[in-house]
C-alpha cells in the first residue's frame, strides 16, 4: 500500500461519506446541484463524497479538492449497472474520482472481462505514472461477492448491493449481519458500509459492526424520498 493510499484510508477511518445522486428525470439531476449538496455535506462533517456520472464527478472534484471522492457511472438500473465495464471505470477515474466504484458481484460483466482483469487493468494504468494510484471499490451484494472481490484485488469492499442482487434480504436498514461477516472473514480489507443507512444510530451500528467508513445517500441527499417518509406518516 502506498503512503497516499494509507493517507486516504486514514482520512476515511471512522467517518461519514455522503452519496450525492439524483436519478434520471429528477429535478435535482444537475452537476451544479449535486456539487452544492456535496459542499454542504462536507460543511456538515462528511469526510468523503460518492458521486455518479462524469459531469458530477468532475465538478465535485474541482469544488472539493482533497476530499476523497468515490465515483461511479450507472448504466441503467438492472443487472450489472454500477460502472459495468473497464471503459466506464477508466472514464470515472479520468473525471477525477480517487476511488472508482464498480460492480463487485460475481455476475458476468457486459464487456466479458472478469472483475480481476478489470481491477488489474486499472491498477496497471497507474504503473509508472506520477501521483496517486486509483483505488477500486467493489460494490458487493453478499459475503461470497466480497470474498471473490478481495481475491480479485479490489482495494475496498462495499456492501452497496446487499439486498439488490437476490443473495441477501433487503433489510430494513443496513445489513449489519453482512458487514460483520465480511469484516470477520476479511480483516485486512477496508469495508465501506453502504445501503439503507437512514439514521445516525444505524450509521454508528454499521461502524461498530466493523466498517471502516459509512456511506449515507438517500437519508441525507434525496429529498423526494425523505419527504415521502414524512408524507406517509400523516
Which residue ranges make up the site for ligand LRY (CB under 6 A)? 19, 21, 72, 160-161, 164, 194-197, 215-219
Q: CB-wise, 17 or 59, nearer to ligand LRY?
A: 17
Classify each residue of 168-194 as buried b or exposed e, where b means 16 or more C-beta atoms within 10 Å of its C-beta. Answer: beeeeebbbebbbbbbeebeebbbbbb
Q: CB-wise, 133 or 141, nearer to ligand LRY?
A: 141
> Smallest gap, in angstroms, from Cβ of residue 216 to ligand LRY?
5
Q: CB-wise, 119 or 215, nearer to ligand LRY?
A: 215
> Smallest gap, in angstroms, from Cβ of residue 145 to ligand LRY?
13
> Smallest gap, in angstroms, from Cβ of residue 82 to ligand LRY?
6
Strand partners, 135: 99
> Smallest gap, in angstroms, from Cβ of residue 63 to ligand LRY?
20
Q: Which residue is nearest to ligand LRY (CB)?
A: 217
The C-alpha cell 429529498 sits at 223
Are 80 and 104 in contact by the 8 Å Cβ rule? The answer is: no
The C-alpha cell 471473490 sits at 148
- From the list 71, 108, 105, 68, the residue with the least C-alpha distance to 88 is 71
Q: CB-wise, 82 or 115, nearer to ligand LRY?
A: 82
26, three cell numbers: 429528477
Amino acid at each position: 500500500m502506498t503512503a497516499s493510499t494509507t493517507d486516504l484510508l486514514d482520512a476515511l477511518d471512522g467517518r461519514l461519506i455522503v452519496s450525492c445522486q439524483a436519478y434520471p428525470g429528477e429535478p435535482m439531476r444537475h452537476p451544479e446541484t449535486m456539487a452544492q449538496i456535496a459542499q454542504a455535506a462536507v460543511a456538515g462533517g462528511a469526510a468523503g463524497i460518492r458521486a455518479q456520472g462524469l459531469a458530477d464527478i468532475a465538478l465535485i472534484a474541482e469544488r472539493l479538492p482533497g476530499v476523497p471522492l468515490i465515483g461511479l457511472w450507472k448504466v441503467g438500473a438492472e443487472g450489472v449497472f454500477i460502472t459495468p465495464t473497464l471503459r466506464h471505470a477508466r472514464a470515472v477515474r479520468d473525471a477525477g474520482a480517487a476511488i472508482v466504484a464498480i460492480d463487485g458481484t460475481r455476475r458476468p460483466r457486459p464487456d466479458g472481462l472478469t472483475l480481476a482483469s478489470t481491477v488489474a487493468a486499472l491498477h496497471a494504468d497507474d504503473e509508472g505514472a506520477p501521483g496517486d494510484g486509483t483505488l477500486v471499490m467493489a460494490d458487493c451484494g453478499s459475503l461470497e461477492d466480497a470474498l471473490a472481490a478481495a481475491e480479485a484485488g479490489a482495494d475496498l469492499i462495499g456492501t452497496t448491493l446487499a439486498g439488490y442482487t437476490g443473495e441477501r434480504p433487503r433489510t430494513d436498514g443496513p445489513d449489519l449481519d453482512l458487514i460483520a461477516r465480511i469484516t470477520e472473514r476479511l480483516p485486512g480489507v477496508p469495508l465501506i458500509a453502504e445501503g439503507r443507512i437512514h439514521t445516525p444510530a444505524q450509521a454508528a451500528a454499521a461502524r461498530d459492526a466493523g466498517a471502516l467508513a459509512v456511506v449515507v445517500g438517500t437519508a441525507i441527499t434525496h429529498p423526494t424520498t425523505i419527504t415521502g417518509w414524512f408524507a406517509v406518516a400523516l
